Amino acid sequence: MKPSVWRGYILFITFFTVLFISGCATMKTGLYDMAISHECRRANLSAQKIEANGIPIAFLESNPDKGHPTVVMLHGFAASKENWIRFARHLTDQFHVVAIDLPGHGESVKDPGLDYDIDDQVGYLKPVLAQMNLQPFHLVGNSMGGAVSALYAARHPDQVKSLFLIDPAGIYAYESELVACLINNENPLLVEEKDDFDRLMDFAMEKQPFIPWPVKSVMAERMIARKELNKQIFADIRTNHDYYFKSELKQISAPTKIVWGREDRVINWKNASVFDRLIPNSEKIILDGIGHAPMIEAPEKTAGLFRAFVVSTTAMQAANE
């Protein structure tokens, strides 16, 4: 083959390969968007965005015009509003659902110049909820979002009708497997390359849901793209003072349900007893065979627990009026 012909052949193969890879990336993203849109439609949720105090915030919302009581949902570290879709699907028939991307996560603001400690997230959340003009609402939080929810309920008792904490962060009286990993300079919650995503899923959840390849691939790629910001957020969260947080928990007046997966490797389930002891009007339940994300691992069961909790809480509040 002549050199000029060979060079032309190499250029063609290179161009075709780049085009194919680019097409695959576009296709994966398209399939991801289709899958999420399908899940949202099934759950009667739609994507929304607002700007509060100059900070862009994304959220999922069900129809607010049906007069249903509002429930606000806050995800955990390195997660997003999409973590609540399958849980919310069992609630949108009776609740106005608002699932928020906290700053630094999902499609909300990602500014390395911001602080992302639990205390800071509570401060960012207040104008967001004020701008949405929500009536007193039920508040649900998982992991980091659980700590944010607890602190918010303590500081704004007039806004929170009930508090539903799912494997919340903030108290570490009992050590978890994550602590041992961090001592060895390993953090299974950070995704820096594609294999790390499977490791994260295995570590965080005992009972993993099926995630199609295109969706899992895009999720991994997006977490890798945010790895430096996630490192910063994780470092910010760890600056939270345990004693200060415990003191604030005692100020919570809303009826509180603490739900925890017994197989949680991120935060030891035994910390549920500390939350239960510190929060005045609380009760706890431990779920066997479930890890750090019950709303993903067992969405229908966890939603049922929330629904029953709200019904009993509402009846008790009505009796006391």
Q: What is the pLDDT of residues 215-229, one digit of tens each?
A: 888 999 999 999 999
Identify the helix (H) or strand (E) that includes residue 200.
Answer: helix 194-204
Residue whose C-alpha is closest to residue 219's, from 79, 34, 23? 79
Has residue 239 got a pLDDT over 80? no
Cβ–Cβ under 8 Å, residues 126 and 159: no
DSSP type of residue 68: P
The residue type at 63: N
pLDDT (average), residues 64-87:
94
Cβ–Cβ under 8 Å, residues 265 and 291: yes
DSSP type of residue 111: -
Which of the pair, 139 or 11, is modelled with greater confidence? Answer: 139
Cβ-Cβ contacts under 8 Å for 235 (sequence gap 6 or more) = none
Which of the pair, 17 or 113, is modelled with greater confidence? Answer: 113
- pLDDT given for residue 243 in this prediction: 58
Cα 21 to Cα 182: distance, rounded to the nearest angstrom: 36
* Residue 95: Cβ-neighbour burial (10 angstroms; 0-12, 13-18, 19+): buried
Has residue 16 got a pLDDT over 90? no
* Residue 29: Cβ-neighbour burial (10 angstroms; 0-12, 13-18, 19+): middle
Has residue 9 got a pLDDT over 50? no
Per-residue confidence at 316, pLDDT binned at 50, 70, 90?
Answer: confident
Cα 228 to Cα 245: distance, rounded to the nearest angstrom: 26
Which of the pair, 159 or 8, is modelled with greater confidence? Answer: 159
- pLDDT given for residue 7 in this prediction: 45
* Residue 78: Cβ-neighbour burial (10 angstroms; 0-12, 13-18, 19+): buried
- pLDDT given for residue 29 in this prediction: 82
- pLDDT tens track for 138-174: 999 999 999 999 999 999 999 999 999 999 999 999 9
Instruction: Give me the chain's average pLDDT, please.
Output: 90
pTM recorded for the entire structure: 0.90
Has residue 101 got a pLDDT over 70? yes
Cα 136 to Cα 159: distance, rounded to the nearest angstrom: 4
- pLDDT given for residue 24 in this prediction: 52
- pLDDT given for residue 17 in this prediction: 39
- pLDDT tens track for 170-212: 999 999 999 999 999 999 999 999 899 999 999 999 999 888 8
SS3 72: strand
Token pair, residue 86, equals 């399958």
Per-residue confidence at 10, pLDDT binned at 50, 70, 90?
Answer: very low
Residue whose C-alpha is closest to residue 159's, from 170, 147, 168, 151? 151
- pLDDT given for residue 19 in this prediction: 36
